Each structure stands twice: as structure tokens, then as C-alpha cells.
Amino acid sequence: MHRNPRTHLATHEVTNQAAPLEDVNLFSADPILISAVTWSGAGAHRARLETFGAQIGSAETMDWCVQANRNPPSFKPYDRFGRRIDEVEFHPAYHELMALGLNAGVSAAAWNVTEGGHALHAALLFLMGQGDYGVCCPMSMSYAVVPALRVEPGVAAEWAPRVTTEAYDDRFIPAAEKRAVTMGMAMTEKQGGSDVRANSTRATRQADGSYELVGHKWFCSAPMSDAFLTLAYAEGGLTCFLAPRWRPDGERNGIEIQRLKDKLGDKSNASSEIEYRGAWAVRVGEEGRGVKTIIEMVQLTRLDCIIGAATQMRQAASLAAWHTQGRAVFQKKLIDQPLMRAVLADLALDVEASVALAFRLAQALDRADDPREAALARIGLPLAKYLVTKRAPTVVAEAMECLGGAGYVEEGPMPRLFRQSPLNAIWEGSGNVIALDTLRALAREPEARDALMAELRDAASAHRDMGAVAAEAEAILSSPVVEAAARHLAERLALALAAATLVKTAPAAVADAFIAGRCGAQTMTFGARTDLGDVNALIGRLALAH
């Protein structure tokens, strides 16, 4: 018998380490989420959310998330005989996660319930994102396309039932043969980015009323979706079209994937560049009305950006609190150390505010029959998108520091979470685009300004410190705003709306601390200061000489 000579030389035992945060019900264990679901109007769906929260928080699901990100999708342009197929292959864990979320209704539930549909969607997406946010991308797009489909009754009759079915069918076959479908979007091009009117894709009307698309798209997320909403120039101007992966005659459509994006994060999700090479498509909405057709869809994807960023902050803070509860330093639990308590309490303010804003705006969408609620959604979505998505990377980075070196290694969830955290500030309009959209909304829709001020005044009547916050917002709204100050306006109004929402929905300690600690701050985001002085001099030294 051979004896291991090193057995008796063990140097230490592993102690004073927090266990993995898994096999926890991410709904039932979260008082912030439970409260938001209750006051936003989704309380009737609590049992459904409890079931889903247990599934997402399980060790099995967490392992799927790790595997789906360690084994990213791969592009398969040809089959073994050399035929062009333009398919993307995924790890089995990706399909498990897609089935889990779509079967639970992450993308479809909002359209299938009679009460609190958008708030229910917010809660389901909030939970799904704490597993893997990459798979949330096709779920979010499939949720958001429904209003655009309804603009064109014939398209809606064919596609809306497919996209609102709570199921996952991963087979790459014509949509008519599937149990359920997912839909993606292909809007931006290299030369235009957010300026979709700079697009060069052309649509030619055919004799049967369909269209043929020729052009490229710089960003097509989830290219294995069954169809895409896309923009192209027809004879009447920029128009929205639906382009399926399969033609009505059963042949693959002329949509060629050029490559998959090698992204900072979002590794489990395939994002691509594509070309339309005579792709078959049907018109959605009138010619020349493409932007108007997709505008409500953009509202919903911006809501999901807010939910996604709130999810990331919530998850990061949960991991920080869990780690500090399970680790002792200098004869005390880390969570009992005064400086750590100050950090965690400060992180809590951003978590509370982001969740409150996400669910307040979901609630406004559910109440859109009320003109004030509809107007609040129109101004509140860009405001919250601006603030919440910009706070996410900062909050995640600080939470990572709470874990120390253990938070920086790839075996844990923090690095994946950190890489994901900038995405929602970029997708569906970066900070400058959102700030300018806010200016346009205020200029074109006085009712949006009135709805925002009514929300702030309601809160001011209930909290002693909200009066000053509402007065500052009214002064901003009453003054001429130059374009360079658009970020300042967006930040201050977003903070005011967050404070008003917390006053109405959160414990007094939360609202008090947020108003004192956030609304009183000079600035929270880059570009929001208006006292920088000689901007030309600052930028002149920043730019490298050449």
C-alpha cells in the first residue's frame, strides 16, 4: 500500500468563507421586490413569482448560467455539404435557461393577464436577470414587439399569437410549424447608429404586396429569432418591416449573418451583424412611418433597460450583504463593521430607488388609459433610463469591493455581473441620446411636464423635504435649457421622480435617506455638471496631439 506522503502536511483548514448564494427563493427572500410587486399592482401573481423565484435561485439554474457564459454561441455559416445555412449553435445550458424563462412568461405574460401585466413582466424579468441577463435579451425583444405588430392587423393576426405563447421551441423551422416563437430587432447601421434615419437599407415593393430588402445591419441581437422588426427605406420613406428567417415558400430567407459580436459581456447571447440579400419582408405600418411604428416598442425596451440595471444592482448588493454576513474580520462579522455598514447602506439607496422607478413606470404603462399615467410614462422612462442605467456599473463595482479578492475571480458571479453592467446604458439610446429625448419630450408634450410635476407635488404634500425637491424640478422645467445642460436636467428630474416614488412606496427611513443623500448631491453622473468653466481648455488637454 502506498501512502500519500503529503497527507500529514496539510497547512490549513478553509474557514471564515461565505457559502455560495444559491438554493434561495429570489422572490420570497427579497422584501424590496415583494413590496414593489404589491404596490405596483402585480400582487395577484405572487404565487407565480414565488415558484419562479425558487427556480431561478436554485443551484442547478446558477450552474446553467455559468455554463452558458463559459461556452458562448458559435456561428455556423455552412452545413457539412457547403450549403449556406446561417445558424448559431448554443450550449445546452442556454436552451435550459431560455425554456425556463419563456415557459414562465417573461416575454409573454404581460399580454396574457388582465391585471398588472407590465408589472408582472417587470418582476419576472427582474428574477430572470439574476440568473443570466444574456438570455433576457431575446425575451425582452419578444415582449416589446407586440405593440408594433398591432399597428398592422394582418401581421398581428399571424405573429402576435405566436410571440405571446408562453413556451420555448428552439427548432430552426418555419414559424407556422412551431409552438411559440421569439422575435428580434435589426435597426442600426454602421454609418448611423442611433440616427436610424441615416440607414441605407432599401425596400422594394413586389407585385404581391411584399417587399424585398437589400442592405446591412450593424447590430442584430439574437439572430436565431424567428423574425425581426427592421427599418428600411421604401418609396414612401423610412418604414418598419417584419423579416422572418424563413420565406412563405419554405425556403430560408435572404438574411446572411456576417459575424457574431465579440462583446465585453452578455456572452451567452448571440449578437450579430447581418446583411439582407433580397430578404422577403412584410410592411408593418404605413410607408414613411417607421419611427412612429416602433416608438411604443422603444418605450418597452427602455423599461427593460431600467429593470435590467435595477436587477444588476440588486444582485450585486445581495451578494455583498451575503458575503459580509458570512465573513468575520477583526473579531466581528464584516457586516457589523461600521465602515462596511456605511457602504452597504449607501448601496441600498440606489437599489431601492432603481427598483421603485422600474415598477412605478411599469405601473404607469398598466394604467395607460389614464392620460396622466400615459404622460408620466413618456417622460419617466427616459429619465429613469438615464439615471438607473448609469448607476449600475458604479454600484456593481462597489459591491465587488465588498467581497475583496474573492469578488474579482472568475469562479464567482461578480465579474460576469460587472461586465454586463454598462450594457443597459448603451442599448436603446446612450446617455446623450436619452437626455436629448427628454428635452424633446418636454418641448413637444406639455402634458408630460404637468404629469411629472403632479407626481412630485403629490409626494411633497406627504413629506417635509420633498417640497424643496419639487421646487427645484419646477425651476428647471420653467427655465430655458441649452443642449449642453440636458444631462443636468435629466439627472435632477430623475432623482426627483425617484424620491417622489420612494416617499409614496418605501419605508420612511429609505425615503428620508435618499432625499438627503442623493437629491442633495451636486451631481451623480458624468456630463451633468454645469460649472466646469472653460470646457475648451479641459478638452484641449485631454485630446492627444497628432
Instruction: Please report, for residues 100, 190, 311, 445, the alpha-carbon distance to residue 70 in angstroms, rounded to integers and kept in the order given.
Output: 19, 29, 21, 47
Separation in Å, CA 215 to CA 7, 276, 283, 487, 517: 66, 5, 16, 34, 50
Q: What is the pLDDT of residue 1?
A: 52
**Residues ≥6 apart with Cβ < 8 Å to 416:** 69, 265, 267, 410
Any long-range contacts for 161-168 (C-beta under 8 Å, 24+ apart)?
Answer: 162/226, 163/107, 163/108, 164/108, 164/111, 164/112, 165/108, 166/102, 166/103, 166/104, 166/105, 166/108, 166/109, 166/112, 167/102, 167/103, 168/95, 168/98, 168/99, 168/101, 168/102, 168/103
Distance CA 230, CA 241 (A): 5
- What is the residue-wise DSSP string for 424-474? HHHTTS-HHHHHHHHHHHHHH-HHHHHHHHHHHHHHHTT-TTHHHHHHHHH
Crossing angle between the packed helical segments 466-478 and 486-505, to the nearest 10 degrees = 150
CATH code matching the domain that covers 292-519, chosen among 1.10.645.10, 2.60.120.10, 3.90.1150.10, 1.20.140.10: 1.20.140.10
Domain 31-288 has CATH 2.40.110.20: yes
Q: Which residue has the cell 430655458?
A: 480
CB 428 within 8 A of CB 345: no
Residue 6's CB is within 10 A of a number of other CB atoms, namely: 7
pLDDT of residue 14: 85
Q: Which three cell numbers stand for residue 163?
A: 410571440
Q: What is the largest CA-CA distance in the chain?
A: 88
CB 67 within 8 A of CB 96: no
pTM for the whole structure:
0.95
Rounded Cα–Cα distance for residues 492 and 528 (Å): 9
* CA triple 88-155-213, angle to 5 deg: 55
| Strand, helix or coil for residue 237 | strand
Alpha-carbon distance 412 to 388, whole Å? 24
In the chain, where the domains are located: 31-288, 292-519
Residue 204's identity, in one-letter code, is T
Query: Which positions of the chain have pLDDT values less than 50?
Result: none
Q: What are phi and psi of 284, to 5 degrees?
A: -120, 105
How far, in Å, CA of 475 to CA of 471, rounded? 6
Q: In terms of DSSP H, where are the helices of 76-191?
A: 92-104, 117-129, 136-144, 146-149, 153-163
**Single-letter amino acid, residue 116:** G
pLDDT given for residue 535 in this prediction: 76
Q: What are phi and psi of 130, to 5 degrees?
A: -80, -10
Q: Are 449 and 475 in contact (CB under 8 A)?
A: no
Amino acid symbol at 323: H
- The answer to whether 258 touches 273, Cβ cutoff 8 Å, is yes
Q: Residue 106's pLDDT is what?
A: 98
Q: Give CA 451 to chain center in angstroms.
A: 25
Closest of 166, 165, 148 to residue 156, by C-alpha: 148
Angle formed at CA 420 by CA 275 and CA 517, multiple of 5 degrees: 135
